[in-house]
Structure 1
């Protein structure tokens, strides 16, 4: 699936401050009623330890795509597909599978 189909518009990136080989990237996913910003302190801490960190906001959260009045809700399948596509984008970018935290 092309990455342009991802309905997530907010994926925060915290590159590692010191490069250490063989450390996997981390993808942080938030809970309900939150957004990617909730992971800011964690992302800074882990990026200082050499991890390439990403934090995504689900559809309808943070700066990601909002629902129209016509389709008030997205399904859990929509959200898990977005997580999968963001994971694929991270793999394409880094060459490594990210560790999921959330």
Structure 2
């Protein structure tokens, strides 16, 4: 499978590790174009990968799995030849974390606004399509929501995960805003 890997190499060999940039969702290697030159000017061989189905990389976005994206990073890191500094943004940050957890090697990892290793499920509290009304459920967490926050709102602000069986809409409807 053809991978799009943009590159910018330094004029002189400085002995610095290569940097491999991995984009997040809804983008491609093109988002790193400015940074490639910036890093190369400072002596770092710089590469940016388009995950399959993104940019000019082959693959079907609809059928690509997360494991496929981790494979893409593994292939790109292997093609570079030296252990890279991995820079992942958003979903790309999660992909590179999984690459390392799988046994991949890197000189360092930089995760920029990364999706957490646990995924996004916990942050999607009450914003799921099966909920009765996204607007009403969101109001539980909104600044102008109930004066007495529901346990769902308190748990969210405290960073705790809720039992998936809790229906946030029932909690909202039990304590509507005054």
TM-score scaled by structure 1? 0.79
In the aligned structure 1, how far is the partner of 2:40 from the partner of 2:53?
A: 27
CA displacement 1:6-58 (0-9 Å, x = unmatched):
x342101111123212x100000000000001001111100000011110101
Match of 1:10 among 4, 7, 10: 4
CA displacement 1:53-79 (0-9 Å, x = unmatched):
110101111101142xxx832110011
Report deviation, 1:88: 0.9
Q: Is residue 32 of structure 1 aligned with residue 22 of structure 2?
A: no
Hey, what does 2:76 align to over in structure 1? 86
Hey, what does 1:3 align to over in structure 2? none
**SS of residue in 1 equivalent to 2:21:** strand
Match of 1:101 among 87, 99, 102: 87
**Bigger RCO of structures 1 and 2 (CA < 8 A, at least 6 apart):** 1
Q: What does 1:33-52 align with in structure 2 at a 5 Å threshold?
A: 33-52=26-45
In the aligned structure 2, how far is the partner of 1:18 from the partner of 1:98?
A: 18
The number of aligned residues is 88
TM-score scaled by structure 2? 0.47
In structure 2, stretches of 5+ residues that fail to align are 89-178
In structure 1, stretches of 5+ residues that fail to align are 1-6
- Flag as ranges the 4+ runs of structure 1 deviating above 4 A: none
In the aligned structure 2, how far is the partner of 1:9 from the partner of 1:90?
A: 13
- In structure 2, the CA distance between the partners of 1:8 and 1:57, relative to structure 1 (3 Å rule), is farther
